A and B are shown apart, each in its own frame.
Chain A
Amino acid sequence: MLENFIAGSAALFGDPFTIAIFVFGVIGGMLFGAIPGVSMLTLAAILLPFTSDLEPAQGVMLFAVIYCTGTYGGAITAILFNIPGAPENAPTAFDGYPMTKQGRAGKAVGAAVLCSAIGGISSALVMMAATEPLAKWAIRNIGPPEIFALVFFGLAVASSVGGRTIWKGWLSVLLGLMVATIGQDPVGGIERYNFGFADLAAGIAFVPAILGFFAVSEIFVQAEKKVTGKYDAPPVGMSFPTILELWRYKIAVVRSILVGFFCGILPGIGATLAAFMGYGEAVRWSKDKKSFGKGNMEGVISSETANNAATGAAMIPLLALGLPGGALTAMMVAVFQMHDLEPGPLVFYNSPDLIWIVFAAMFYANLSILIIGVMETKTIMYLLKVPFQFLAPMILLLASIGSYIGRGLVLDVVVMFVAGILGFLLRRSGYSIPGIVLGIILGKIGEQNFAQGMQMVHYDLVTYFSRPICTLLILAGVLTLGFSIYQAFQGIKQKSPAS
């Protein structure tokens, strides 16, 4: 392994043009992740056509680097503006944004920098050591029933955070699942819910939906505060956390690495679920559950460690099985195909150089988060000082471009603003925006794997539940759900003025 890693590093740093692409990927991923309104997906979509002019290893490496640094960059906007750069950063905002409002933005961002790097580096190391054996284990033990079970567990966790009640949490998730049914059904390709619009046949793209629900709705919330005279610019706190402060959360970090890696390794699940589950586990094991959502640093640490730990793991199904784990890894499949390559087991034998350049680049990209991340963060934090009336049009414009570029459809921009208005109204009524978004992302994956699982077991539920991992995950989901419903009928925590 070490020899291959050294060879990959030498290939990466032996050619000035490859170094330039690596540096561009690191800085571009961080910037696009950290600028509210656009994300690493926007950058990846713009760059995709240009990768045909690059060597295959350079093209795949560029996207892998953007994936690592963009996942970290999205945490910055989640913490500073309550606008997650990507869905995997949504749980980071639960505690990160309250920390910003308390003037502790520096501490939250510092924790995110360090934990993103730790999560990413650990994941890259495990990926280098264990891609092949893990892929073999996944082939033997993970099938559509297990993936559906994990989707169910993930949705149960998502429903238990973010909404004012378990019912509103589930209504949010179900709304997201319904939105995901628009477009072609994943089994027979039959068009559903197009309501006479031809563009809807391709379904609702999740990038505009995410930008609308997170970025645009947050701008609307702040605009409402501005109009009603309740807007307060958050104080800029530049003090980073000390090593001693972070050391207290070592168990949370290790737990989140495990959660992130497990979620990342499963095809189609990716970093988003990892972040939600990392956050959910942090709440479950904490002695001070009430402090979550109010600025508990452990919330930021858990979700950021988990989502970055999933980035390396997500390469395993992609490279070993040819199955993408998310939007960006799906674009990487396109890069492979542009160069007449197919990701899958044969890649390890046909193109070992490519694999080890990518592995080495991901390792160094995570390492560079530590160095460049701190410098970049100090600059980005000055965005908090820009008056809202000037920042808002910039964010809305970037979000519009980000929505449009993916498919070149004006409908996507309209969808984004409709999602923004809907998100604004739902947030006011206590619904969970991350729940809706997770429903949209996991809806198709869940349906497809449920259908495949049912076909596999010939619609026999006994056979379905005879698979131990599947049963365990379904049981965990049911217990999470049952506990939340039990809590729903317990005492009242807080009365709102309306009541």
Chain B
Amino acid sequence: MGKLDRPHLIEAGVWFLFFIVFFIASFEFNQPIEIYKFGATGWPRTILLLLLLVMFGNMAYAYYQGHALQQGRVGIADDEAEKTSYDRATFLRVVTALGVPFLYAISLKPVGFYAATPFFIAAIAFIFGEHKLKNILLVTLIIYMIIMIIFMVILNAPLPQGNTSPFYDFSAFMLRMNTKWQQLELW
């Protein structure tokens, strides 16, 4: 096995799975193009083949050199790569930190930006280390107001409104308020 270890094998497995999924999916659009000899699959399949070759190169490197940094590389991210190990509680906190923004993104379609955003700000502030309720509420209010003033009032940017009640009604209320505000003609 040389210097290959479990993370290397998992890594190779993930790339191989990626290759298989995309290669099989390429049969769905395997149609000839009259004006182009290589068709719609030529380019992606070439990339997939190169990916497979490079994956073997990556494994060969790992076999001989393990996790060592290659000589002469520049611009390497200083992310404590492959060094961090978590206990169960920390792992859960990291997963939550990654998961909450993703949930927010998914919720935008049914809930809308206007209703989902305050909860998102509060949740992120809490997960990222702010545990005083007063501070969380204050920061949520300030950030929400800044975003609304810039994007809703000044720039009139179209933001997701949601498609389920009562969230959609709340978005409609916010937009009505903005329209009334714009019609005040204070300036």
Real complex partners, A and B? yes
- Contacts A181-B44, A397-B147, A417-B105: A429 and B71 contacting too (C-beta < 8 A)? no
Listed from nearest, the 5 A-B pairs whose CB atoms lie closest are A94-B75, A188-B33, A167-B58, A499-B66, A389-B128
Q: B-facing mask of A164-196, CB < 8 A → 1, else 0?
A: 111111110011011001000101101111010
Whether the Cβ atoms of A91 and B58 lie closer than 8 Å is no
Say yes or no: is A125 at the interface (Cβ < 8 Å to chain B).
no
Q: Which residues of B contact A447 (CB under 8 A)?
A: 43
| Bound-state Cα–Cα, A185 to B28, Å | 13
Q: Which residues of A contact B61 (CB under 8 A)?
A: 165, 167, 488
Excluding A226-B128, A289-B74, 9 further A-B contacts by CB distance (< 8 Å) are A178-B48, A188-B35, A193-B25, A293-B73, A299-B75, A417-B104, A451-B43, A484-B72, A493-B70
| Bound-state Cα–Cα, A413 to B3, Å | 40
Q: Which residues of B contact A491 (CB under 8 A)?
A: 71
Say yes or no: is B117 at the interface (Cβ < 8 Å to chain A).
yes
**A488's contact among B37, B48, B70, B109, by CB below 8 Å, is which?**
B70
Say yes or no: is B90 at the interface (Cβ < 8 Å to chain A).
yes
Whether the Cβ atoms of A220 and B105 lie closer than 8 Å is no
Q: Which residues of B contact A171 (CB under 8 A)?
A: 15, 51, 54-55, 58
Shortest CB-to-CB span from A496 to chain B, Å, is 4
Binds B, one of A4-12, A326-334, A338-346, A418-426: A418-426
Binds B, one of A14-22, A257-265, A402-410: A402-410
Interface residues of A in 392-441 (CB under 8 A from B): 392-394, 396-398, 400-401, 404-405, 408, 410, 413-414, 416-418, 420-421, 424, 427-430, 432-434
Whether the Cβ atoms of A410 and B109 lie closer than 8 Å is yes
Q: Which residues of B contact A188 (CB under 8 A)?
A: 31, 33-36, 39-40
Shortest CB-to-CB span from B65 to chain A, Å, is 6
Say yes or no: is A283 at the interface (Cβ < 8 Å to chain B).
yes
Say yes or no: is A379 at the interface (Cβ < 8 Å to chain B).
no
Q: Which residues of A contact B127 (CB under 8 A)?
A: 223
Whether the Cβ atoms of A292 and B147 lie closer than 8 Å is no
Shortest CB-to-CB span from B158 to chain A, Å, is 6
**A164's contact among B5, B70, B98, B108, by CB below 8 Å, is which?**
B70
Shortest CB-to-CB span from B161 to chain A, Å, is 11
| Bound-state Cα–Cα, A227 to B128, Å | 7
Interface residues of B in 35-83 (CB under 8 A from A): 35-40, 43-44, 47-48, 50-51, 54-55, 57-58, 61, 64-83
Q: Which residues of B contact A493 (CB under 8 A)?
A: 68-73
Q: Which residues of B contact A163 (CB under 8 A)?
A: 73, 76
| Bound-state Cα–Cα, A392 to B101, Å | 11
A-B contact list, 14 entries, CB within 8 Å: A91-B75, A161-B74, A171-B51, A174-B47, A187-B40, A289-B74, A293-B76, A393-B139, A396-B124, A401-B147, A414-B105, A427-B79, A492-B71, A498-B66
**B82's contact among A389, A392, A498, by CB below 8 Å, is which?**
A498
| Bound-state Cα–Cα, A397 to B144, Å | 9
Q: Which residue of B lies closest to A170 (CB)?
A: B54
Whether the Cβ atoms of B68 and A185 lie closer than 8 Å is no
Say yes or no: is B11 at the interface (Cβ < 8 Å to chain A).
yes
Whether the Cβ atoms of A418 and B82 lie closer than 8 Å is no
- Contacts A162-B76, A167-B57, A417-B102: A390 and B130 contacting too (C-beta < 8 A)? yes
Max chain A Cβ within 10 angstroms of own Cβ: one of B5, B15, B71, B157: B71
Say yes or no: is A248 at the interface (Cβ < 8 Å to chain B).
no
Whether the Cβ atoms of B40 and A499 lie closer than 8 Å is no
**How many residues on A have C-beta within 8 angstroms of the other chain's C-beta atoms?**
97
Say yes or no: is A134 at the interface (Cβ < 8 Å to chain B).
no
| Bound-state Cα–Cα, A131 to B26, Å | 43
Q: B-facing mask of A455-499, CB < 8 A → 1, else 0?
A: 100010000000000000000000000001001111111111111
Max chain A Cβ within 10 angstroms of own Cβ: one of B18, B55, B80: B80
Q: Which residues of B contact A94 (CB under 8 A)?
A: 74-75
| Chain B residues with a Cβ under 8 A of chain A | 3, 5, 7, 11, 15, 18, 22, 25-26, 29, 31, 33-40, 43-44, 47-48, 50-51, 54-55, 57-58, 61, 64-84, 86, 90, 93-94, 97-98, 101-102, 104-106, 108-109, 113, 117, 120-121, 124-125, 127-130, 139, 143, 146-147, 151, 155, 157-160
Whether the Cβ atoms of B101 and A216 lie closer than 8 Å is yes
**A413's contact among B11, B58, B105, B129, by CB below 8 Å, is which?**
B105
Whether the Cβ atoms of A421 and B75 lie closer than 8 Å is no
- Contacts A188-B40, A418-B102: A496 and B68 contacting too (C-beta < 8 A)? yes
- Contacts A171-B15, A224-B97, A228-B86: A401 and B36 contacting too (C-beta < 8 A)? no
Say yes or no: is A130 at the interface (Cβ < 8 Å to chain B).
no
| Chain A residues with a Cβ under 8 A of chain B | 46, 91, 94-95, 98, 101, 160-171, 174-175, 177-178, 181, 185, 187-188, 190-193, 195, 216, 220-221, 223-224, 226-228, 230, 279, 283, 289, 292-293, 299, 387-390, 392-394, 396-398, 400-401, 404-405, 408, 410, 413-414, 416-418, 420-421, 424, 427-430, 432-434, 447, 450-451, 454-455, 459, 484, 487-499
**A293's contact among B26, B33, B75, B81, by CB below 8 Å, is which?**
B75
| Bound-state Cα–Cα, A375 to B35, Å | 55
- Contacts A185-B40, A187-B40, A195-B25: A392 and B124 contacting too (C-beta < 8 A)? yes
- Contacts A178-B44, A192-B44: A498 and B75 contacting too (C-beta < 8 A)? no
Shortest CB-to-CB span from A409 to chain B, Å, is 9
Whether the Cβ atoms of B40 and A192 lie closer than 8 Å is yes
Q: Which residue of B lies closest to A397 (CB)?
A: B147
| Bound-state Cα–Cα, A228 to B15, Å | 29
- Contacts A185-B43, A499-B3: A390 and B79 contacting too (C-beta < 8 A)? no
| Bound-state Cα–Cα, A187 to B38, Å | 10
Whether the Cβ atoms of A389 and B125 lie closer than 8 Å is yes
Q: Which residues of A contact B98 (CB under 8 A)?
A: 220, 420-421, 424
Q: Which residues of A contact B34 (CB under 8 A)?
A: 188
- Contacts A91-B75, A389-B128: A228 and B84 contacting too (C-beta < 8 A)? yes
Shortest CB-to-CB span from A84 to chain B, Å, is 12
| Bound-state Cα–Cα, A266 to B168, Å | 47
| Bound-state Cα–Cα, A408 to B157, Å | 10
Whether the Cβ atoms of B76 and A413 lie closer than 8 Å is no
- Contacts A393-B121, A396-B101, A454-B37: A427 and B77 contacting too (C-beta < 8 A)? yes
